[in-house]
């Protein structure tokens, strides 16, 4: 049988609800800004960023999914949209006939270049401007710990 539930004490409750509210509000704000100013959701922006940083601006679908924290299905649908927008195109993978490469087009790079300053400014305004340098450091350590914990088990 399952062990007895380890309920949250009052401090944990407060922390969890605050974290939930903060991350939700931050993500929604940035997503809305990006949609308004650049016509793309944040998930698509991140796909373009990862492609722009890759050698020859191309990545295998699986690697892109991993890099952008996305499921394969999600990425497949997303790339279909990005392809329709002319920002990405697909290429056959030369070494694996199952594979597909997502390639950032010049138009996609231009869209990213246009979107980036506004988005970065949003991240700064809504996140970093609110926190002290010490808090930024704490947040990085906490986040790294959580990622390790979540992807390691």
Partner DNA sequence: GCCATTTAGTTGAACGCTCAACAAAACCGC
Partner DNA sequence: GCGGTTTTGTTGAGCGTTCAACTAAATGGC
* Residue 131 lies near its own copies (rule: CB under 8 A): yes
By CB under 7 A, the residues from 97 to 136 that bind DNA are 97-100
Q: Which two tokens stand for residue 35?
A: 């949609």
Q: Which two tokens stand for residue 82?
A: 């990005």
With contact defined as beta carbons under 8 Å apart, do 68 and 75 qualify?
Answer: yes
* Residue of 26, 37, 41, 127 that binds DNA (CB under 7 A): 41
Query: Residues 43-82: x/- map of binding to its own copies (CB under 8 A)?
Result: ---x----------------------x-------------
Provide the residue count of the chain.
Answer: 153
CA separation for the pair 142, 153 (Å, rounded): 17
With contact defined as beta carbons under 8 Å apart, do 90 and 64 qualify?
Answer: no
Using N-to-C axis directions, what is the helix angle for 10-38 and 42-53, rounded to 10°?
A: 80
Contact set with DNA (CB under 7 A): 28, 32, 35-36, 40-41, 43-44, 60-62, 65, 70-81, 90, 93, 96-100
Contact set with its own copies (CB under 8 A): 2, 5-8, 11-12, 14-16, 18-27, 29, 46, 69, 116-117, 120-121, 123-124, 126-131, 135-151
């Amino acid at each position: 049988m399952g062990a007895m539930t380890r309920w949250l004490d009052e401090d944990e409750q407060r922390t969890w609800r605050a974290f939930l509210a903060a991350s939700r509000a931050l993500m929604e704000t940035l997503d809305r800004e990006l949609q308004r100013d650049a016509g793309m959701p944040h998930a698509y922006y991140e796909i373009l960023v990862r492609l722009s940083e890759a050698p020859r601006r191309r990545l295998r679908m699986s690697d892109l999914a991993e890099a952008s924290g996305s499921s394969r299905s999600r990425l497949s649908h997303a790339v279909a949209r990005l392809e329709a927008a002319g920002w990405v195109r697909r290429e056959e993978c030369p070494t694996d006939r199952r594979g597909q490469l997502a390639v950032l087009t010049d138009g996609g790079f231009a869209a990213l270049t246009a979107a980036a300053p506004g988005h970065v400014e949003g991240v700064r305004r809504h996140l970093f401007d609110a926190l002290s340098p010490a808090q930024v450091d704490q947040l990085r350590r906490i986040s790294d710990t959580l990622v390790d914990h979540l992807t390691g088990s």
